[in-house]
Structure 1
């Protein structure tokens, strides 16, 4: 597992996101198994490491280390912790509608909420995933897939899911380490492996799902390790490889109607204006890993990196300029707020950046205050 490079700075904290306490160490003490041990409720949860952001209607959801789940009902101005049934690091969150949401994390855990993120239950973990993989491999009669699945069964729940995307309340996709990719068509009640549909020799890690277009008929992209970039024209369509000039890891994408951007290690940013047929490198101010990207309501593009920089483009991604911030943190995700602000996931918790002025004047990213109920379990 030492070749894995975690999307969105899960690498900040080691394999489990828990310094000095790997998964095997937790499993040796049954009462501290992070897949069954609920996350601690803590008054300082709003300043802990968060790795991903999602939206449930008017609510924002941030997830991160040790099972931290934070909720904001005011576009990121204040946050409160809610209970989580596991204490593994959580790496991705997606809502299919205003109420139904899913979180993924280490141990290949999948959590589900049916009330807008207030309450969560465990739907899936790595032990179950391994059995799903084995059943699918045997059905395919592919000797290599069977060997891979048998190894997964033997290794147990020691790998992470790294991203999740739900198109609606029923149809979703989860991806992660060593080429894992599962789909559901019934809101997570059952899952099937799509590993055999992926052109992924060597089982390279899959870091990020990017949807372009409408949920019913999307253009679907997967970003991965060693330059892996795949596309499917439809949520059930087969994936095909998209060649790029870069052979390092890609951690994410952003797109407009005219432009595709894919980003990754050491400041690598590649741009396509012909749907991925050709790519040109965009020069960045520094060779720092780019962790997330998004499009804002003013149509500008923003990137964040692991050194705490936010970069903005107003020319469809042809060039980027660093935005001056009062405080920096290792940024792990970025999400546009509905009031024009920018919400950032970081090593210091969720941050909120004021809307950009028309002149793009320097702005300050500051921690959002915890609400009075932070650290208390809510119903």
Structure 2
């Protein structure tokens, strides 16, 4: 064995080098310690990485059409997948109500025949998921009222005024319709109706207090007790009338609102007894938080006189023709988008903030939903995404 012989002058380093030569595996030089997490896995992304900020989902409208050349005039969905459309081959013939339970993938005829000479069905109104009403013109006199209590079978239940401007039911038997100056009520599903209120109110016109008549236009019920009605414009631009009931329609209290505006062919929605949203004939939108006593104009305006529907207390829509106006803050402001539907939307139904339907002529039904960002389908249209809860 080789000896290490070193003098005192050589020093400690020489001794170490000598021993390393004799025992190469016995002594190792210390290595620099690696910092933890210095390198991330190749597939991960760091904050600020553009890839990590790309959306994973998008909102679309996609066709789930009825495969027949029908003029669809009304649509209602009780759940994300179960719904009804009503219409006919025309207003005068081919009346039909169709039903789907798979989001429009398949449609079945529940009432009528597209090839018949029967007039169209329209004005779907549901009070519960399986209890609903529809109207059919009779060609003269009051219109026929049809009812389903199981979501499947429809049968005549009575009539409803021919010259009504709106009708609403609050149960399977109790309902109201507005016709001219009066509000009518039925307690037996439309077999008989009785007037419960005639519109007449004191209003200031040209600086003078006058008793004026008015004609009701829209109805909306928050629950079985609280309901609202709006009228058309009264004289000399004095505004129009709002009336409220708190006893299930037995009595009504009127007052005048919004001078210069007109409630004709408007739309009305209330979240509760105090907070509501209204559209007037010119497409302006107003909001109240005091039970309709005062109304404040909010940003947003739409053509076409659409209804107002809300999925919840925040997300609401108005859809008509090729325009979709929506709110995500309970109606405090509205934003409009043009959607390239292949036909003009005549009716829509908003079920929940990520599911809605729009219907129109030629059997057109489009479904709104949220899908993965790379999803594609024939006829798909881009849509504004409603915020997740």
Short-chain TM bin? 0.5 to 0.7
Q: Which of these residues, 97, 105, 108, is aligned with residue 80 of structure 1?
A: 108
TM-score normalised by L of structure 2: 0.60
Distance 1:347 1:120 in 2: 23
Aligned length, in residue pairs: 282
Question: Per-residue CA shift, 1:231-283, capped at 9, x if unaligned?
Answer: 21232332222422123514211233574111132212122222212112224
Distance 1:283 1:198 in 2: 31
CA contact (8 A) 1:89 1:105 kept: yes
Change in CA separation of 1:324 and 1:54 when aligned onto 2, cut-off 3 Å: same
Q: Which of these residues, 250, 256, 260, is aligned with residue 276 of structure 2?
A: 260
Are 2:381 and 1:364 equivalent residues in the alignment?
yes
Larger helix proportion of the pair:
1
Structure 1 position 298, deviation (Å): 7.6
Change in CA separation of 1:260 and 1:338 when aligned onto 2, cut-off 3 Å: closer
**Match of residue 269 from structure 1:** 285
Q: Give ranges in structure 1 of 5+ residues lacking alignment.
A: 1-41, 130-158, 367-379
TM-score normalised by L of structure 1: 0.62
Q: Give ranges in structure 2 of 5+ residues lacking alignment.
A: 1-65, 202-211, 234-239, 374-379, 384-389
Larger strand proportion of the pair:
2
Equivalent residue runs for 1:166-315 within 5 Å: 166-176=169-179, 178-179=180-181, 181-194=183-196, 196-199=197-200, 202=213, 204-206=215-217, 208-212=218-222, 214-215=223-224, 217=225, 219-226=226-233, 227-245=240-258, 246-257=261-272, 259-285=275-301, 288-297=303-312, 299-305=314-320, 307-315=321-329
CA contact (8 A) 1:271 1:280 kept: yes
Question: Per-residue CA shift, 1:167-197, capped at 9, x if unaligned?
Answer: 2222222334x34543222333433233x44
Question: Per-residue CA shift, 1:45-94, capped at 9, x if unaligned?
Answer: 5x413135364997422223443322222244443333249844544222
CA contact (8 A) 1:71 1:79 kept: yes
Structure 1 position 199, deviation (Å): 3.7
Structure 1 position 293, deviation (Å): 1.0
CA contact (8 A) 1:75 1:339 kept: no
CA contact (8 A) 2:129 2:151 kept: no
Change in CA separation of 1:354 and 1:49 when aligned onto 2, cut-off 3 Å: closer
Structure 1 position 295, deviation (Å): 0.9
CA contact (8 A) 1:183 1:191 kept: yes
CA contact (8 A) 1:104 1:163 kept: no
CA contact (8 A) 1:105 1:160 kept: no
**Match of residue 164 from structure 1:** 167
CA contact (8 A) 1:268 1:284 kept: yes
CA contact (8 A) 1:105 1:161 kept: no
**Match of residue 317 from structure 1:** 331
Structure 1 position 341, deviation (Å): 0.8
Bigger Cα Rg: 2
Give secondary structure in 2 for the equivalent of 1:243: strand
**Match of residue 346 from structure 1:** 360
Question: Per-residue CA shift, 1:143-184, capped at 9, x if unaligned?
Answer: xxxxxxxxxxxxxxxx344433222222222334x3454322
Distance 1:205 1:52 in 2: 24
